[in-house]
Structure 1
Amino acid sequence: MKKLPYILIAARFILAPIILCLAYFKDIEAKFLIVALMYFGLLTDIFDGIIARKVGVSSEKLRRLDSQTDLIFWLSLGFASYFLNPELIKNEWQGILLLFVMEALCYGISIWKFGKETCTHALMSKMWGLSLLLAFTYLIGFQETGWAFYLTIGLGLVSHIDVILIIVILPKWQFDVPSCYHAWKIKNGKQRKKTIFFN
């Protein structure tokens, strides 16, 4: 059981090039397989953390590996969306650019302050992940953006601001911080109760 979180992370990492290849060759039937793989990938993301905390292997190394794999996985879906629907993506370039800039800011500020990439696994970031799932379902499965896409842009902006505040507030680097409010409590010497299901 102690190796299972690493296996789930590895499975999600392997899904990224598979998704890219399926989208690159633009097989119309492949879009449904990509959506199915995306949902499977999300399940691996949910359960790797829960299992790791349950069996006591939720270490810095595991959580950082999980974060970087998440980034690769979601980026592969973003590029897959572009391969399958380039005009849709081009029409929404402003919102997409905003998210890339915010992601870069999170990494840049964290590396500048702590010498490490961000690894908060914040609750708002989890909500943003669910909105990404919805947006990519519409983009890849139904070739449309609409409300799901704009919800993702809005939640993405809010979640990145939350992460930046966490980084700025924390006195030292720490993984699994649910929100900027929890970061403020940590700064003031208050320890929070961790849970198996979140972090």
Structure 2
Amino acid sequence: MKKIPLSLIIFRFLLAPIILFLAYYLGEESRIIILVLMYLGLISDIFDGIIARKAGVSSEKLRRLDSQTDLIFWVSIGVATYILFPILIVENKFAIISIFAMEALCYIISFAKFGKETCTHAFLSKMWGLSLLVAFTSLLSFEYAGIPFYIAVVLGLIAHLDVIFIILILPKWQHDIPSSYHAWQIKKGVKIKRSKFLNG
């Protein structure tokens, strides 16, 4: 059981090149397969953390690997969507650029303060992940951005702001911080409550 979390992370990591390969070589015929792989990737992301916590192997190294794998996985979905529907992505380029800018800002601030990347796995970030699932389902299934896409963008901006506040508030680097409020509690020396389903 202790090896399952790492196996799920590796599985999600390997999905990224497969998704890109399918999009590039099969074109629009790959949409359904990519959608299935996206859902499998999200399921693996949910259960790797839960199982790691139950098995007592939720280490800093594993959580950092999980966080970076998440980034690679979702970027691969985004690139695949661009390969399939470039006009749709270009039409919404400014919203997409704003998300990438916020992601980069999180890394810059975290490296500047702690010398390592952020790994908060915050609650709002998890909600953003679910909104991405809905948005990409809409994009890949119906070639439609609209409301699902812009909800994901707005929630993504809010989630990244929360991560930035977490980084700025924390006195030292930690992983699995549910929110900026919890970071403030940690700074005051208050022991925060964690959920075995959401945070280690």
Tell whether the structures are fold-level matches, with TM greater than 0.5: yes
TM-score normalised per structure 2: 0.98
Query: How far apart in 2 are the matches of 1:92 and 1:175?
Result: 32
Please name the residue that 1:86 is paired with: 86
Q: Which runs of 4+ in 1 moved over 6 A?
A: none
Please name the residue that 1:96 is paired with: 96
Deviation at 1:24, TM superposition (A): 1.0
Structure 1: gaps (5+ residues):
none
Counterpart AA for 2:79: F
Counterpart AA for 1:190: V
Please name the residue that 2:191 is paired with: 191
1:127-153 Cα offsets, whole Å, 9 max, x none, are: 000000011101112111010000000
Please name the residue that 1:72 is paired with: 72
Query: How far apart in 1 are the matches of 2:95 and 2:129?
Result: 16
Please name the residue that 1:148 is paired with: 148
Percent identity among equivalent residues?
63
Query: How far apart in 2 are the matches of 1:81 and 1:26?
Result: 13
Asked whether the equivalents of residues 26 and 84 of structure 1 are also in contact (C-alpha less than 8 Å), the reply is no
Residue correspondences, number: 199
1:43-87 Cα offsets, whole Å, 9 max, x none, are: 000000000000100000000000000000000000001000000
What SS class does the counterpart of residue 28 from structure 2 fall into?
coil
Deviation at 1:193, TM superposition (A): 2.3
Asked whether the equivalents of residues 85 and 143 of structure 1 are also in contact (C-alpha less than 8 Å), the reply is yes
Query: How far apart in 1 are the matches of 2:26 and 2:64?
Result: 33
TM-score normalised per structure 1: 0.99
Please name the residue that 1:159 is paired with: 159
RMSD: 0.7
Asked whether the equivalents of residues 9 and 44 of structure 1 are also in contact (C-alpha less than 8 Å), the reply is yes
Deviation at 1:26, TM superposition (A): 4.0
What SS class does the counterpart of residue 190 from structure 1 fall into?
coil
Deviation at 1:161, TM superposition (A): 0.2
